[in-house]
Amino acid sequence: MRRLLLTACTGLLLAVACTHDKAASSAVSASAADLSPEATGRGGAAASVDVRATAAAIGILESGGNAVDAAVAAAGVLGVTDPYSCGIGGGGFMLIYLADEQRVVSVEHREVAPQGLHRELFYEGAAPIPMPEVLTSGLSAGVPGMARGWEVALERYGTRGLADVLQPAIRVAEQGFEIDAFFHEQTARNVDRFKLFTSTASLFLPGGEPMPVGARFANPELAKTYRLVAREGSRAFYQGEIARAIVDTLARPPVAPDAPRKVRSGVMTLSDLADYDVRIREPVKSTYRGYTVYGMGAPSSGGLAVGLTLNLLEGYEPAAMSRVDFLHRYLEASRLAFADRTAFVADPEYVDVPVAGLLSKEYAAERRKAIDPARAAAGAVLAGNPFAYQQDPSTTRSAAASLSAAGLAALPPSVLDVPNRETTHITTSDKAGNIVSYTCTIEFEGGNGIVVPGYGFLLNNELTDFDVPPSPVTPHANSPEPGKRPRSSMSPTLVFKEGAPVFALGSPGGSTIITTVLQTLVNHVDLGMPLLESVAAPRVSQRNTPDGKSQAEPEFLSSREAAALMEKGHVFADVGPIGAFTGIRFNPDGTVTAVAEPKRRGGGSAMVVERAGR
């Protein structure tokens, strides 16, 4: 669990240095006693991948802040301690339950394609540019949404401002933290990319190599960035010196003189940054076995894919069949949902997304007929026709959208579709009953690999989430366009029963986010596992890839269930750990149980304001 290697003496000194700020003190003085993947109590809760981020959230809650304040505080700290997964150079999706209004809202601060970006930029010689070249380049960066997203969430639904909630992150960035094994491993995996850029190598590779476990890492330039945003608001990021630095960095990447290859420039302008805005969107809503499930709508595919998969599974009774037979149906339902997700979900401001059809129980009943109860599908399956099940008769398919479902589903996944990309998830609640499920990211591990010189943060490569068909003239719902938001798989989720909250959950992991959320829910609701056991259980992810394979963790591959599923035609690929879940369960006795990954990515941290039994 993102081990803190602070000595007792150092931890004491840091705590004393910032006793005037409870949340900031919590962020830098969290101790080994706080390293737990599960905590039950009252007064509010928080869970994240990092103990300092979780402690910052709890400090905000203890000082009277609400769940939104706490989530933003945690995200700010993660920008320091987990910089390869999220940060102010990226964006996210925040799902919020407002207890006094008994409603769910979403703050979508997804990155946006610059106005100068056209699909032809992703091709060379009529063929897609090789993925590594786009991945690590200025071309892959979308206009970051994080700073504006934080500000809007706080202004509309929080009780504190940026000047307050960013203090814990500023403290950690200034005073530093001791590098753990996971941070070191992440850096080591990216050495070749980071060495391409002078600013990135200077920050993360002092001396030309990753800093060793136990070394102290501080980021005073990021502390400067946070101070500017804390003092001036998001305009400091989108209109001031930071904006100019971002545009200059992408136009002229700080490539090292001895770099072994050319790095492509980006097309972002100052007006792209100045024009960025957040979207307050209605969440998508579905039901499953008496539960009401809220998720993110487009441009995220998470809520729609989760809802459709659960609708497909609702036609089966797990108690009436073996575990293997139910897992078979779960994998096949996910395969069908991903076919539809890939074909139809994209930025709703650019395409007609058939939301009602995808979440229709009648559509699920029809789609379920494609599941063979005895045999796994061989290869990719075709998309269905959710447009035929739209509840709004005024919704019709445009001429551009009238392509056959088979034509859309036959496209191979984008050459840029890399599974298990980094991201992170934060879950918070407060004593008033407000809840936040928040997934944020800079996309690939380390984003596009470029640190903005003088400002200490990595830029995202979120535009790799667009689909790039084999030919630039092939239509696709999620193809790159100016001003468009790429499709995401982020799946912050809130689950209710009879109007009361039951779970809040989410995970990182690229397109495996959807299956991690699904499998955790299925484990808990259908298979009866306790929540922490549901989180720790071995994972398998079926996402309708052309080869038909499901990706799985080693522990799943060695299980009896995997062997029995292979007899039904399932084929698996070992991909190592999948996801890094955090969540909160709301218990019937009024307590809450916060849960984080016990082992994956080094494990996470779960805390409550007041532990049960105290």
- Catalogue the active-site residues: 423
91 near 149, Cβ under 8 Å?
Answer: yes
Helix ranges (DSSP H) in 378-419: 405-409
Per-residue DSSP letter, 48: E
Tokens of 276: 């960025």
Q: Position 14: which residue type?
A: L
- How far CA 431 is from CA of 168, 264, 386, 586, 596, in Å, comes to 21, 49, 41, 12, 20
Rounded Cα–Cα distance for residues 450 and 448 (Å) = 6
Helix (H), strand (E) at residue 262: none
Long-range interactions of 573-577: CB distance < 8 A, separation 24+: 573/549, 575/419, 575/420, 575/541, 575/551, 576/420, 577/553, 577/601
Q: Is 312 left (phi over 0), alpha (psi -120 to 50) or beta?
A: alpha
Cβ atoms < 10 Å from Cβ of 285: 17
Query: HEC profile for 110-131?
Result: CCECCCCCCHHHHEECCEECCH
Residue 354: closest CA among 394, 395, 408: 395
2 near 49, Cβ under 8 Å?
Answer: yes
| Residue 395 three-state SS | coil
Residue with tokens 């790039």: 468
Q: Report the first-to-last Cα separation within the chain, whole angstroms.
A: 25
Rounded Cα–Cα distance for residues 267 and 265 (Å) = 7
Tokens of 523: 């484990």
- How far CA 25 is from CA of 41, 58, 135, 372, 603, in Å, comes to 22, 11, 37, 56, 22
Residue with tokens 């591990």: 445
Residues 6+ apart with CB under 8 A from 275: none
Tokens of 127: 């063929």
- Is the CA virtual torsion 154, 159, 163, 166 positive or negative? negative
Tokens of 493: 């989720």
Residues 6+ apart with CB under 8 A from 58: 26, 44, 46, 70, 607, 608, 609
- How far CA 236 is from CA of 71, 264, 277, in Å, comes to 21, 27, 14
| Residue-level length of the chain | 614
Rounded Cα–Cα distance for residues 423 and 420 (Å) = 9
